[in-house]
Amino acid sequence: MALSRLSLRSNRFLRPSTTAAALPSSIRRHVSTDTTPITIETAVPFESHLCDAPSRSVETSSAEILSFFRDMARMRRMEIAADSLYKSKLIRGFCHLYDGQEALAVGMEAAITRKDAIITSYRDHCTFLGRGGELVDAFSELMGRKRGCSNGKGGSMHFYKKDACFYGGHGIVGAQIPLGCGLAFAQKYSKEEFVTFTLYGDGAANQGQLFEALNIAALWDLPAILVCENNHYGMGTATWRSAKSPAYFKRGDYVPGLKVDGMDALAVKQACKFAKEHALKNGPIVLEMDTYRYHGHSMSDPGSTYRTRDEVSGVRQVRDPIERVRKLLLSHDIATEKELKDMEKEVRKEVDDAVAQAKESPVPEPSELFTNMYVKDCGVESFGADRKELKVTLT
Amino acid sequence: MWGILGRRAVDGGFSASSLRRMRSGLVSARSYAAGSKEMTVRDALNSAIDEEMSADPKVFVMGEEVGQYQGAYKITKGLLEKYGPERVYDTPITEAGFTGIGVGAAYAGLKPVVEFMTFNFSMQAIDHIINSAAKSNYMSAGQINVPIVFRGPNGAAAGVGAQHSQCYAAWYASVPGLKVLAPYSAEDARGLLKAAIRDPDPVVFLENELLYGESFPISEEALDSSFCLPIGKAKIEREGKDVTITTFSKMVGFALKAAEKLAEEGISAEVINLRSIRPLDRATINASVRKTSRLVTVEEGFPQHGVCAEICASVVEESFSYLDAPVERIAGADVPMPYAANLERLALPQVEDIVRAAKRACFRSK
């Protein structure tokens, strides 16, 4: 969708990229459709546990790197818009933002299909977008509107997109890990050649149910990939205060692991591609993504009582995932600064339009209080606060 | 029409054969057809799981000792041999892990039958039952349904002590999004378990260890492989006109015995076997109380905030003007289950407790 818009708009000719597969200057291609392979080296090597690390040379293309930029910019803008909507009290309750971690969402999508499954925690807005979710559905859900991806019944922590094999959106820390292993179980049971990525944080990495599920996944050879999004803080508790061993990629013990620079979309892509191949042949693997969140744990957390502002701005300056991709695009002559700025402006408008549209969307009907309790209602009764006033037979 | 069950018996290939065990034994004073076959609750459950696994390749069984050990209580006997390790899974002793895996498999469209060796151990996995299973269809506005069955023995056994004797009916039945069933007879066991496995929503299926070995008459209809009981409907086990006794699971047997004792004293008790704790068949309960004007509600579990409390509230709300006496509750004692046999007996409802309460409701002195 985004890419085709660019190709319609852009009739600029580009300077050819200066890589091993360089194009003769007489051939001009539209940036967005240029799938000529390019190879990029990751800045940081992979660290491995009980396996051979994949190569640092990542196969990609101009089109792909540009899509990373656009998709991450969209995700970033969405989270920033959510921040202001929360402050204006249009979003209530919990709101856990992902800005800083976007590379993970886009890198993973680049390595897998929409039939591979993803399940994650409550920090799920960008994962939803990565799976093909629409901005207006996300904002509507956040604001509790009918148009929301869960009809306003779920909220920030409960986004789902089953047709893209995105199974949520879970509020209980660590619960998604056995659930994800269950998805992998179903994939193996049905003899499908797909895998499940189950995402969790450094806080959840200490949960007992992780080890229970991983044990079963390893015993039964389930195609489960456990992805620890290590943003170094479990709410207000830094990893050194919560984990005796913060080498999360090694915590699988008998299960192989890989440590990845989670702020590098290409490294994430490489790791996920490697993990998928591994999981299909050899069962579970743990990926530790070294990443960072700019916001606090949630909108109720300023994020500055347990870390310094210098630390946050330091990461932003040196490791920001969008800036890295911007530098890559510029240094490889895939796009100009102006083109990228224009793209960011378009994304900003997309997001603003979606917010406006979502604001117009109505709240759910009162009757929605009682819908979707069961698939098969069998004449069940349900009650409102005053059961003599509000009693419903579910049909 | 015996369907799969009948054909299997003829072929001799039915390892979990309840048919071979059938004997036309003594028919009790219960209202079943004369000369009907009998079946234990254990065989009823086994045959139900077997038939549903045969009919739908997405159904699989998971739990501790369900496979090679043939089931801790032999409910899954023969299933591993018949269906193989890709349909029957022995798990490590990790309830939170394997329950979550079961729920995740259900998200993806499989139909797990997860066994808890007893429901006491379900507490280790209760977050998955409630937050991952029960609420998902609602939170996802219908995108993610969870066609899973959690089954196992519930409530007191004999002499197993405080940590192994709790009844979880009230806890699970309070959760919207779950269905909670409690069979009594072999027919209940077959019909309700088959309905539960076919149901697209999460079902908590509360069995009773002491009922597993009990034999009940069973009709031809109940032996058919298509037999299913409706979820949410109670059964009137014994009709009466003076007092309504509602209960579920093992206590149904006690209530029926109490009804016989009461009959000797000229009190006609109507005994309702709830079968379904959630949805609760308030219509049947209230219709009965409107007929008899008196209610005694019985359960084995802890009294405070129990199933009986909900039934009493429902009857007081909907049938107040029909009541001729205060509602009565007979429940387990308000103590953790003691071990000593005499104390254990005091901690659980006995037939004489039900009789006494019914007489109180009828304003009869001892």
Closest Cα of chain B to A331: distance in Å? 44
- Checking if the pLDDT of B9 tops 60, the result is no
- How many angstroms separate the first and last alpha carbons of chain B? 50
**Class of residue B114 by CB neighbours under 10 A (exposed 0-12, middle 13-18, buried 19+):** buried
In the beta sheet, which residues pair with residue A41?
A: A57
Tokens of B292: 């008899």
Mutate to test the interface with B, among A94, A185, A386 (most CBs of B within 10 A): A185
Question: Which A-chain residues 125-184 have CB contacts (< 8 A) with chain B?
Answer: 150-154, 158, 160-162, 167-172, 175, 177-184
Query: Residue A120's domain spans which residues?
Result: 35-363
Closest alpha carbon to B240 in B265, B268, B280, B221: B268
Query: Residue B122's domain spans which residues?
Result: 36-221
Decide if B326 contacts B363 (C-beta within 8 A).
no
Q: Is residue B1 part of a domain?
A: no
Using CA atoms, how far residue A147 sits from A77, A86, A364, B165, in Å, is: 20, 18, 8, 47
Mean pLDDT of A172-176: 97
Mutate to test the interface with A, among B91, B93, B107 (most CBs of A within 10 A): B107
Decide if A361 contacts A147 (C-beta within 8 A).
yes
Residues B134 and B166 in one domain: yes
Closest residue on chain B to A370 (Cα) = B138
Q: Given this model, what pLDDT does residue A320 score?
A: 98
> Which pTM does this prediction carry?
0.90
Using CA atoms, how far residue A178 sits from A197, B81, B99, in Å, is: 11, 27, 8
Q: Given this model, what pLDDT does residue B26 score?
A: 39
Angle at B350 between CA B349 and CA B351, to 5 degrees: 130
What dihedral do alpha carbons B298, B301, B302, B308 form, nearest 10°? -30
Closest residue on chain A to B102 (Cα) = A182
Enter the ipTM: 0.90
Angle at B130 between CA A285 and CA A382, to 5 degrees: 145
Decide if B242 contacts B360 (C-beta within 8 A).
no
Closest residue on chain B to A173 (Cα) = B127
DSSP 8-state symbol, B112: E
Collapsed DSSP state (helix, strand, coil) of residue B114: strand
Decide if B77 contacts B106 (C-beta within 8 A).
no
DSSP 8-state symbol, A159: -
Backbone dihedral angles phi then psi of residue B167, each to the nearest 5 degrees? -100, 130
Residues A155 and A142 in one domain: yes
Q: Show residues of chain A in contact with B89, CB under 8 Å.
A: 220
Residues B100 and B198 in one domain: yes
Picking from A153, A208, A387, the nearest residue to B96 by CB comes out as A208
Cα–Cα distance between B105 and B92 in angstroms, integer?
17
Digit-coded pLDDT (tens) for B85-106:
999 999 999 999 999 999 999 9
Residues A183 and A199 in one domain: yes
Residues B212 and B245 in one domain: no
Residues B122 and B191 in one domain: yes
Q: Domain of A240: which CATH number?
A: 3.40.50.970
Does A204 touch chain B if contact means CB atoms closer than 8 Å?
A: no
Residues B213 and B263 in one domain: no
Decide if B126 contacts B150 (C-beta within 8 A).
no
- Interface size A-B, in CB pairs within 8 Å, comes to 159
Q: Which helix (H) or strand (E) holds B127?
A: helix B126-127
Cα–Cα distance between A358 and A365 in angstroms, integer?
16
Going by pLDDT thresholds of 50, 70 and 90, the confidence category of residue A17 is very low
Q: Given this model, what pLDDT does residue A10 score?
A: 41
Q: Domain of B186: which CATH number?
A: 3.40.50.970
Decide if A109 contacts A268 (C-beta within 8 A).
no
Average per-residue pLDDT for chain B: 92
Digit-coded pLDDT (tens) for B280-295:
999 999 999 999 999 9
Would you tell me the crossing angle of helices B41-55 and B3-11 to the nearest 10 degrees? 100
